[in-house]
Amino acid sequence: MSAVRTVVRGGLVVTAADEMHADVLIEDGRVVALAATGSDTAASWTDARVIDASQKYVIPGGVDGHTHMEMPFGGTFAADTFETGTRAAAWGGTTTIVDFAIQTVGHSLREGLDAWYAKADGNCAIDYGFHMIVSDVNDDTLKEMDLLVSEGVTSFKQFMAYPGVFYSDDGQILRAMQRAGENGGLIMMHAENGIAIDVLVEQALARGETDPRYHGEVRKALLESEATHRAIKLAQVAGAPLYVVHVSAQEAVAELARARDEGLPVFGETCPQYLFLSTDNLAEPDFEGAKYVCSTPLRPKEHQAALWRGLRTNDLQVVSTDHCPFCFTGQKELGRGDFSKIPNGMPGVENRMDLLHQAVVDRHITRRRWIEIACATPARMFGLYPKKGTIAPGADADLVIYDPHAEQTISAATHHMNVDYSAYEGKRLTGRVETVLSRGEPVITEREFTGRAGHGTYTPRGTCQYLN
């Protein structure tokens, strides 16, 4: 095959490490060189397709380490398929997702993982990998964890919530952590005390408290921080690293900060919904609050400052979406009259890069920190770096041409996620994705979708790159 050469000219290249006015040369899907714009080297790249990036940023494609396409939950399925969800991700400047394959109780990890390979195969617009949700810890499962690590599924989610569904007790968690400590895997924890929460749910419903806002009230911040603390101690006992997903409570951030101050290999992720939304949204009238039901739940606004601070101090390292969309009509509505029946999850895979750019505009974080928390660190955390998450010779040419001055208004009328509402309806943002390359192929070209289902390939992962 003859070399396909592309040069992205004249943009401000922003990575987690550097900012420079540089041209980027791409050959056969990979970055081969960067050279200062206007330099003799850059000028010598003549026989290439040119993408003009002047006045724009050139950033690595986003790496969203937490999505749930087609996830079965509460008797229904997340509304984005791998096809629609990865297309929407591309629209939003994300070029890699790591989704969660699910082991159901009584079945093997292998069966769950194979089912997810089949769902995604041939359907994705961008590259993807898998984590494994471990719902049934037993001797066979523990052995399978070793095999999965060796085939590139190097992280395992466990739940301290959802008794009877995904829940693991402390003994099961400890055993899985011990195994991960031995085989190099990373345990990702849903840290909420689900046993206590279920008691509070029952009591709330008995009092007639059925509206969506009670979802936030029963899933208390204290029950997140208690579980976070317990997960940290169990990981310490097991001698294993720990990654806490979807952190929303300031008390949980404090637990992570304390553990990190002690030098423990403990990491934390938060999500845009916790940074930009609050219990005010859960309290919206006419059951509209159901749109914002996810777990961990949205918190009172006061928690947001601790999350931003954690992102600045590196007590939180990653912003993922936990994209798990359910339509308002027909899906969220399953919980009318009983908030506990509202499917848990929110859409957002298309909005993450833009919302975090707005955080740069609003001076919560720097431009390089934006790229660090949304691209570079998730790539390193999940063993994909430097193939993904940066712009450097040898890296996949997953690039976004980003217009930092364009204005946009988020709306379900214009988004590309397969869901009938936006959690950020009417929110005005500065900055917008213009063009997206996935391994050098334009998948978004000046705000037209030019990709295709099946371009995205399964990407096996190495182990967490923060441990050695």
> Smallest distance, Å, CB 419 to ligand URP?
13
Q: Provide, rounded to whole angstroms, the least separation between the CB of residue 40 and ligand URP.
A: 51
SS3 46: coil
Return the beta strands (E) in 167-301 as ranges.
Answer: 186-190, 242-244, 266-270
Determine if 342 is a binding residue for ligand URP (CB under 6 A): no
Interface mask (CB under 6 A) for ligand URP, residues 186-205, using x and -? ----x---------------
Cα atoms in the 13 Å half-sphere on the side-chain side of 20: 15
Residue 107 near which of ligand URP, Zn ion, none (CB within 5-8 Å, type-dependent): Zn ion
Q: Reply yes or no: is the peptide bond before residue 386 cis, omega within 30 of 0.
A: yes
Nearer to Zn ion by Cβ, of 190 and 219: the residue is 190
CB of 275 vs ligand URP, minimal distance in Å: 15
- Nearer to ligand URP (CB atom), residue 164 or residue 426: 164
Residue 348 binds ligand URP, judged by CB under 6 A: no
Q: What is the binding site for Zn ion (CB under 5 A)?
A: 107, 111, 190, 322
Q: Which residues contact 208 (CB under 8 A, 6 or more apart)?
A: none
Decide if 320 contacts 65 (C-beta within 8 A): yes
> Binding residue for ligand URP (CB under 6 A) from 10, 53, 64, 68?
68
> What is the distance between the alpha carbons of residues 235 and 222, in angstroms, rounded to a whole number?
20
Beta carbon nearer to ligand URP, 59 or 307: 307
Enumerate residues 245-264 that contact ligand URP by CB under 6 A: 246
Binding of residue 272 to ligand URP (CB under 6 A): no
The nearest distance, CB 78 to ligand URP, in angstroms, is 8
141 lies in the site for ligand URP, by CB under 6 A: no
Residue nearest to ligand URP as judged by C-beta position: 344
Cα separation, 160 vs 191, in Å, equals 6
List all residues 6 or more positions away from 238 whose beta carbon is below 8 Å from its beta carbon.
174, 177, 178, 180, 181
Nearer to Zn ion, 109 or 444 (CB): 109
Does residue 294 belong to the site contacting ligand URP (CB under 6 A)? yes
Distance CA 250, CA 304 (A): 8
**Does 81 sit near ligand URP (CB under 6 A)?**
no
Alpha helix stretches (DSSP H) within 127-193: 139-150, 170-183
Residue 294 interaction partner, one of Zn ion, ligand URP, none, beta carbon < 5-8 Å per kind: ligand URP
* Residue whose CB is less far from ligand URP, 21 or 230: 230
- How many angstroms separate the CA atoms of 178 and 161, rounded? 20
Which of 322, 398, 403, 441 touches ligand URP (CB under 6 A)?
322
155 binds ligand URP (CB under 6 A): no
Please report whether residue 185 would count as binding ligand URP according to CB under 6 A: no
How many residues belong to the site for ligand URP (CB under 6 A)?
Answer: 9
323 vs 387, beta carbon nearer ligand URP: 323
Cβ neighbors of 260 (< 8 A, separation 6 or more) are: 266, 314, 315
Report if residue 101 touches ligand URP, rule: CB under 6 A: no
Binding-site member from 193, 344, 351, 418 for ligand URP (CB under 6 A): 344
DSSP string computed for 30-46: EEEEEEETTSHHHHT--
In whole angstroms, how large is the CA radius of gyration of the chain? 21
Q: Does 352 bind ligand URP (CB under 6 A)?
A: no
H or E segment to which residue 13 belongs: strand 5-14
**Interface with ligand URP, residue 80, by CB under 6 A:** no
- Backbone phi and psi for residue 17, each to the nearest 5 degrees, phi listed first: -100, -35
Which residues have CB under 8 Å from 343's CB, separation 6+?
73, 74, 75, 76, 293, 326, 331, 332, 334, 335
DSSP state of 119: H
Choice from 53, 324, 374, 444 touching ligand URP (CB under 6 A): 324
Would you call 446 helix, strand, or coil by DSSP? coil
What residues line the site for ligand URP (CB under 6 A)? Answer: 68, 190, 246, 294-295, 322, 324, 344-345
